[in-house]
Structure 1
Amino acid sequence: MEAPHSDTSSDTSDFSQAVTSHKQWFKSVLGLGALEAKLWVASSAQLLALMCGVIFLLLTTWLLIIATSAVIAWSYGLPLIGIFLTATLVTFLSAIVLLYFVKRTLNNMNFSRTLDTIIPAEEE
């Protein structure tokens, strides 16, 4: 016995409505994701601008500390060339220390542990 023709069209209609409903849900989820991404980008740009301000102020503070130390040393009669060489050496050593911290941070940014956790490597 054959199924009535109206049942087939009803099934097709139900399937079509389900597909349409899922498409609308997926579109709203993607729209929410896009909105979240826009907020994240705007917040990241604001954070970057604030960090640039902080870096500028820290750099200015560091240079003022060196300048104040140089003026104090000069007021005690130390030669100006010696003061400038010492300030240059201190600045250079500070840069080396910061470079060490940058390299250490880059070495710690290893995503292979996360990848190995998600997709374990097969051991032979």
Structure 2
Amino acid sequence: MGTGGITLVVKYNEETYENEKKKLAEKYKYLDHKVFSNFNRSKYYIPEYEFSINNYIFKVVDSSENYQAEYPKSFGMIGISEEEKSIAYLYFLDLDLDYIEEDNENPMAVFVKKNFKYDF
């Protein structure tokens, strides 16, 4: 099975953008806390549940109707840019990943830049 990130970024007109944001709020549940490693409590599966990259605010998805995250090996993130009327859908998969490095002050932004080939 492959590893890495899948990215879909969609730009909308104002009305469609507002409708899509409402759908996101109804469809997804987001993390509201950091997720510690089960094996080493000094490390994190998810070191930040909300973070920003340029004008996108990202949230880590916890679950939806037919999806349950398995941190850090398989999970999604959704970013919203009010400035660009754009929504970024990111999905990450790496069954060998044990935790997300947090050796800097923006660990999730660094993680996204490293694993997703998109210039936010």
- Shorter-chain TM band: under 0.3
Relative to the length of structure 2, the TM-score reads 0.24
Structure with greater strand share of residues? 2
Larger Rg: 1
Question: Which one scores higher on RCO, CA 8 angstroms, separation ≥ 6?
Answer: 2
